[in-house]
Structure 1
Amino acid sequence: MKPTVLHLIDCLFIGGGEMQMADLLRRIDREKFRPLVGCLRKQGQLVPVLEEAGIVVEEFPVRGKLFYPRSIREILRLARFMRRERVRIVHTQDLYSHLVGIPAALIARVPVVITNRLDLGHTMKRWHRLALKLLSFAITRVMANSEGVRTMLIEEEKIDPGKIELIYNGVNLDQFQIPSKEKGPVPLVRDLRLEPGDRPIVVVANLWPVKGHEILFEAAVRVTAYYPTAKFVLVGTGAARRAILEARARELAIDKQVLFLGPRQDVPQILPQMEISVLPSLAEGFSNAILESMAAGLPMVATDVGGNREAIVEGETGFLVPPRDPETLADRILRLLGDRERGQRMGKAGRERIETTFSLQRMVTETERFYERLLEERGAGARGRGPEGQKIEADLSRVKVSP
């Protein structure tokens, strides 16, 4: 019997980590693994995507504080689900799925427990770190998506380096077209509101403070002084922050040069219409927006934070700039606007780097091998439930889990 892998996540709205998980599960070898998904909230655009791919998506609605009676019942129900489905690997994707999934896997005695760490922990509170520290004994491996994240885990959270596995994110290259003489121009995306002669600069990032849009706007003032036709195209969700950013753009008199597209599901079609991609983040783990922009053949200008320098080769596929430095950010954008041929060379080099280093298939293959290695180490391949497992199943069956 092939081993069952349960991926546990908060919800399935479109985001970097959610998309990476969905891409992995749709590509993973079903002859080797049986994938399942558990959500704390069964919501988001990726729910039907996974279900249409034949992947079961189950909800375990842990609400409010984790130690409320209802939350405890849901954790016990999750543990029973793990035993019933004979889960061999639990792979938690984000903070609350860690805090719920690790105790459930411990109760169910799942042999392999993996936690994803995809950022620098800039949103984590002190009690979050303490809770993960207390649960660390039950974690088989921590999976990081960049050396930047790996370094943070070792230096700040004191995690044993031998317990960390580094697997870079991957991009589905089939989704990204590059204009060429042979293929002709990529069809225009409707409602971009660009005019002939515009110099479009895209920022693919949700409208969160950590993404640094305010710094970008300060840089945009300098850029538009030299290139009035420069347009900054913002793609990402965040209705509350959007009003604040729109007001800031008006204050700086660049509101005509800033286009808010909101959340989009056609980013692969938007990117080829752009000239430059910018990411002014104050913190990053490993940015999917950078990988996607490079896959679309765009030169990058991004802050030198987290794993960004692991994706971008300085001066070859783009430029790295210090965070919170609008002057340098503007300078690098202006260099590319003033030298289109250089930007095209960087974009071509970026696409080649994605093909050789950051393909989706490479990520899937490395993850499959990682799973196989851990199952072999734990002696837990495709085995069924022995006497010990049957006893746990019987114990769990007596726990009352009704609402």
Structure 2
Amino acid sequence: MDRIVVVVSEPRSLATTRGHLLLALRAAGYEVHALAPVDAMTVRWLTENGIRFHPLPMERAAIAPFGDALLAFRLCRKLRELKPQAVLTCAIKPIVYGIPAALIAGVPRRHALVTGLGYAFTDRHKSLRWRMVNAVARLLYAASLRVATTATFQNDDDRNDFGRLGLLGRTPANVANGSGVDLDRFKVAPLPEKPRFLMIARLLRDKGLGEYLGAARLVKAIRPEARFDLVGDTDPNPAGFPVSEVEAAVADGTIRYHGPVEDVRGVIADSRIFVLPSYREGTSRSVLEAMAMGRPVITTDAPGCRAPIVPGVSGLLVPVGAAPPLAEAMIRLIDNPGEAECMGKNSRSIAEERYDIRKVTAHMMEIIEARHRATE
């Protein structure tokens, strides 16, 4: 029985975003191990599903040379101990430290899943701090991806940018349709009649949170009946959005802030239009979930954001970093309820056609198994 080790920085993603893939690997005969920071609910789910968990302390966003060196050492030591035939690394730190560690540990198949480029590639103001982080990230990605067996991205823009920057070398690069969405869990819900907008995202500037608040103020000035909801947790990322600004928007009646929500189906069902004015994504899981539940989507014409949207058919695309065009798109869907309803139905159809988690998982299994056959 082949052994595969999956390394992630966000432990809950093992049960949510990656759960379907882990179960598919098990069903295919792999002995599946997971390395991640400890989360009690995730450890319970993994244990119940026959997946072996190994704690791996990791600061997801912080840049800490000593801590990162220790992370690389721990990864190498654990992989030498487990002796897997394959490793799958997801997100920046697991990739840039896990792939070289797997090479040193003698793991023959080393898969990198680039789920998004984050702050290191998305600061629109190109500050000195961002330039330093970007330079380091490019060096680390190049050093790791060039020794990976495969690299899988979640949109064409990310793959093309990495190729243009010379970060891939000769490593085969694939594109998957995000992480997929469970269509049986995220079922279509009727659209409320009242104009209710929803944004689900971590509190980060590069998610377009400032633009969402600005657009909400513009819309409420002329359509006071509109409601704006925000769901998401704070984030230690350098691009973190000040909670004080969110609290001020709540205090003046601009938005309703719900904090992190464990099961987002209820808030999506209570919304009419989903909004994500992000500067860049891999492929947003929250957008796919909203589409699966039959919501029209307003998002930006940016890498990873535009990929799931057919403009004018399932949603609207607006420029990055500007509140007025976002407000105009919101007002359009308020004033044209029939168009919003049609877009919602088309969103569900696109989710079924392209983003069904069963199809995405099957594609990921093909990528993993193809390299398996190639190394036999």
User: TM-score of the superposition, structure 2-length normalised?
Assistant: 0.86
Per-residue CA deviation, residues 151-181 of structure 1 (Å, 9 max, x unaligned), is 221123442476211111210011112236x
Matched, 1:109 2:119: no
Pick the aligned partner of 2:349 from 337, 340, 352. 352
Deviates more, 1:27-36 or 1:65-74: 65-74
Deviates more, 1:125-134 or 1:302-311: 125-134
Q: Aligned pair in 2 of structure 1 residues 307, 81: CA closer, same or farther (>3 Å)?
A: same
Pick the aligned partner of 1:57 from 46, 53, 69. 53
Pick the aligned partner of 1:172 from 176, 182, 205. 182
Identity %: 25
1:118 CA displacement: 1.6
Q: Aligned pair in 2 of structure 1 residues 346, 4: CA closer, same or farther (>3 Å)?
A: same
CA contact under 8 A between 1:176 and 1:269: conserved in structure 2? no
SS at 1:138 equivalent: coil
2:128 is matched with which residue?
Answer: none
Pick the aligned partner of 1:234 from 230, 233, 258. 230
Pick the aligned partner of 2:137 from 128, 141, 146. 128
Unaligned runs of 5+ in 2: 122-132
Q: Aligned pair in 2 of structure 1 residues 355, 67: CA closer, same or farther (>3 Å)?
A: closer
SS at 1:309 equivalent: coil
RMSD: 2.6
Q: Aligned pair in 2 of structure 1 residues 161, 45: CA closer, same or farther (>3 Å)?
A: farther
CA contact under 8 A between 2:296 and 2:341: conserved in structure 1? yes
SS at 2:265 equivalent: helix
SS at 2:196 equivalent: strand
Unaligned runs of 5+ in 1: 186-195, 380-403
Give the partner amino acid of 1:113: R
2:126 is matched with which residue?
Answer: none
SS at 2:365 equivalent: helix
Matched, 1:204 2:203: no
1:146 is matched with which residue?
Answer: 155
Q: Aligned pair in 2 of structure 1 residues 257, 70: CA closer, same or farther (>3 Å)?
A: closer
SS at 2:10 equivalent: coil
Aligned-partner Cα distance in 2 for 1:297–1:70: 45
Matched, 1:159 2:158: no
| 1:324-403 correspondence to structure 2 within 5 Å | 324-379=321-376
Aligned-partner Cα distance in 2 for 1:31–1:142: 21
Rg: which structure is higher? 1
Per-residue CA deviation, residues 204-251 of structure 1 (Å, 9 max, x unaligned), is 11111111111111111221122212111101101784632235526x
1:286 CA displacement: 1.4
Q: Aligned pair in 2 of structure 1 residues 33, 77: CA closer, same or farther (>3 Å)?
A: same
Q: Aligned pair in 2 of structure 1 residues 340, 98: CA closer, same or farther (>3 Å)?
A: same
1:7 is matched with which residue?
Answer: 6
CA contact under 8 A between 1:80 and 1:108: conserved in structure 2? yes
1:265 is matched with which residue?
Answer: 262
Aligned-partner Cα distance in 2 for 1:150–1:227: 41
1:99 CA displacement: 3.2
Deviates more, 1:60-69 or 1:142-151: 60-69
| 1:282-297 correspondence to structure 2 within 5 Å | 282-297=279-294
Structure with more relative contact order (C-alpha pairs < 8 Å, separation 6 or more): 1
CA contact under 8 A between 1:4 and 1:89: conserved in structure 2? yes
1:261 CA displacement: 0.6
User: TM-score of the superposition, structure 1-length normalised?
Assistant: 0.81
Give the partner amino acid of 1:9: V
1:319 CA displacement: 0.2
Deviation beyond 6 Å, 4+ runs, structure 1: none
Give the partner amino acid of 2:10: C
Q: Aligned pair in 2 of structure 1 residues 376, 267: CA closer, same or farther (>3 Å)?
A: same
Aligned-partner Cα distance in 2 for 1:197–1:287: 26
